[in-house]
Amino acid sequence: MNTSIFIVDDHFMVIEGIRTILQDEAHIDWLGHAMDVASCLEFLSRHQPHVILMDIGLPDGSGIDLCKKVAKTYPKIKILGLSTYNQQSIIQDMMRSGSSGYLLKNASKEELLEAIEAVMNGEEYLCLEAAASFYNPENSVPVITKREKEILGLICDGYTNPEIADKLFISLATANTHRKSLLAKFGAKNVASLVKMAVENKAFL
Amino acid sequence: MNTSIFIVDDHFMVIEGIRTILQDEAHIDWLGHAMDVASCLEFLSRHQPHVILMDIGLPDGSGIDLCKKVAKTYPKIKILGLSTYNQQSIIQDMMRSGSSGYLLKNASKEELLEAIEAVMNGEEYLCLEAAASFYNPENSVPVITKREKEILGLICDGYTNPEIADKLFISLATANTHRKSLLAKFGAKNVASLVKMAVENKAFL
DNA sequence: CCAAATATCATCTTTTTGGGCGATTGATTC
DNA sequence: GAATCAATCGCCCAAAAAGATGATATTTGG
């Protein structure tokens, strides 16, 4: 049986590229594309492809959320994350949100076809580079609690301890404790390096 | 006369996409592609296209440097920056480094053709979104001096004032002055927000 | 050449951070 | 029911950052 494919990506050039790559493949049917979350969901209400190639950064929402929604509503559809970002935290989020694989946009034709085949067989697939970065402790993001994530966001936005305490109705000591455990978990010596790591890994979203 | 095009981009899918888009155009000759700085320069030593579509993030160096080099060695070649990043500072750097235009990867076919035509006519071209972000004060990055850029990099890496003073053989007072003018120029109230802005805009590269 | 910008240094005060250490409560998990 | 973890609060203290102000070389651009 043929595999039907749908793609959600706001980059016209990438859509054209993938279409060109896939049109030579006899066993793959190209169902079309969407360039935002809304039209993707609209399409899915009418047709269900076997596989969706899904970009992370869409204009009207994140691919992570779309991924969750699709995985819940159409559990049979296999989702392949697609992004230029080779960041452990994002890959992790995608895989946890129900995607079955992750491809970088510099993936080769072989990787693309391999990924599609893998997820159709019920396997998980990470492209080479993503897998490498995934297991590279360099890119690893520590596990932080919900509260810590919240406070990390405030720190990144320039809030000081007293301001955080005020905003969250907690004592200065507590705000400080959270800040300290963030520093410890990230292995950062001060807020500067903490914020850099957080922003680079989008750890506070 | 036909316009010859060469593309430098490490994303296979984007190359395929652009090739597909351009192959219908009778007045455009596709000369080929390179996926890194080295093979781009190697190609240029043999053939000179009219226009180069140039990605910013290459595996073996930045598009900014490549742009400078090409603009200097082959001043006749028109360069069109090409990136997913819609960041004022990057666009600025590219334009200053000798590129004649800037396109985002979600540009439409029309924008791509328009851009090529524009630079061939000796005009400059910014795609809609890039132009919008360019004139949006939200994304504006202050002008900082070379020394300040250097110190900003150190701050982002977690260096404290005493450490910076030590490393750069300047007094603590001077390091502090630079830090303060960075805070002032960025309109940041503390290092946390400064680092966030700097990292998001890659202002210290 | 001269003015402006840059880079340098200084002193002073208050606020914030960061390191160390301990402790209670409530929820979850085993 | 014990153990673990999350979230909360406390104190001490030294280091660093941030705010204010002023000053002097050196470089750069018009």
- Is A114:A132 a contact under the CB 8 Å cutoff? no
For B14-60, the pLDDT digits (tens) are 899 999 999 889 999 999 999 988 999 999 999 999 999 998 878 78
Question: What does the pLDDT average to over A44-53?
Answer: 93
| DSSP designation for B137 | G
Q: Is the pLDDT at A148 greater than 90, yes or no?
A: yes
What percentage of residues in chain B have a pLDDT greater than 70? 97
Confidence of residue B171 (pLDDT cuts 50, 70, 90): very high
For B71-87, the pLDDT digits (tens) are 888 888 999 988 887 77
What percentage of residues in chain A have a pLDDT greater than 90? 50
The footprint of strand C (CB < 7 Å) covers A 160-162, 176-177, 179-180, 183, 189-192; B 143, 145-148, 168, 170-174, 176-178, 190, 192
Report how far residue A32's alpha carbon sits from residue A15's, in angstroms, rounded to the nearest whole number. Answer: 9
pLDDT at B174: 95
Separation in Å, CA of A196 to nearest CA in chain B? 6
Confidence of residue B139 (pLDDT cuts 50, 70, 90): low
Confidence of residue A137 (pLDDT cuts 50, 70, 90): low
From the number of C-beta atoms within 10 Å of its C-beta (0-12, 13-18, 19+), residue B96 rates as: exposed
Q: Is the pLDDT at B201 greater than 90, yes or no?
A: no
- How many angstroms separate the CA of B178 from the C1' of C5? 14
**Closest CB to A106 among B10, B19, B106:** B10
SS3 state at B2: coil
For B108-126, the pLDDT digits (tens) are 888 899 999 999 998 888 8
Report how far residue B1's alpha carbon sits from residue A153's, in angstroms, rounded to the nearest whole number. Answer: 55
pLDDT at A92: 76
How do A61-62 and A57-58 pair as beta strands? Answer: antiparallel
Nearest to A116 by CA among A166, A70, A49, A181: A49
Indicate the length of chain A as a whole number: 205
Residue B122: phi and psi, rounded to 5, are: 80, 10
For A67-118, the pLDDT digits (tens) are 888 888 898 999 999 888 777 777 777 887 888 889 888 888 888 999 999 9
Q: Is the pLDDT at A202 greater than 80, yes or no?
A: no
pLDDT at A163: 95
Residue with tokens 């960075």: B182
Q: What is the mean pLDDT of chain B?
A: 88
Confidence of residue A204 (pLDDT cuts 50, 70, 90): confident
pLDDT at A67: 86
Specify which residue's alpha carbon is closest to the C1' of nucleotide D10: A173
SS3 state at B163: helix
B178 touches strand D (CB under 7 A): no
Residue B196 CB contacts under 8 Å (≥ 6 apart), including other chains: A156, A157, A158, A195, A199
For residue B107, list chain A residues with Cβ-Cβ distance below 8 A. 12-13
Structural domains of chain B in order of their starting residue, each with its CATH number: 3-130 (3.40.50.2300), 146-201 (1.10.10.10)
Confidence of residue A155 (pLDDT cuts 50, 70, 90): very high
Write the CA distances from B30 to A172, B5, B110, integer angstroms.
Answer: 63, 5, 17
Nearest CA in chain B to A13: B17
pLDDT at B185: 93
pLDDT at A158: 95
Q: What is the mean pLDDT of chain A?
A: 88
Partner-chain contact B13 A105, CB within 8 Å = yes
Confidence of residue B91 (pLDDT cuts 50, 70, 90): confident
For A175-195, the pLDDT digits (tens) are 999 999 999 999 999 999 999
For residue B81, list chain A residues with Cβ-Cβ distance below 8 A. none
pLDDT at A96: 78
Nearest to A57 by CA among A24, A87, A16: A87
Neighbours of A205 (CB within 10 A): 13
pLDDT at B97: 79
For residue A160, list chain B residues with Cβ-Cβ distance below 8 A. 190
B127 touches chain A (CB under 8 A): no
Residue with tokens 């694989």: A101
For residue B196, list chain A residues with Cβ-Cβ distance below 8 A. 156-158, 195, 199
Partner-chain contact A191 B191, CB within 8 Å = yes
A143 touches strand D (CB under 7 A): yes
B107 touches chain A (CB under 8 A): yes
B45 touches chain A (CB under 8 A): no
Protein-contacted bases of chain C (C-beta within 7 A): 5-11, 15-23
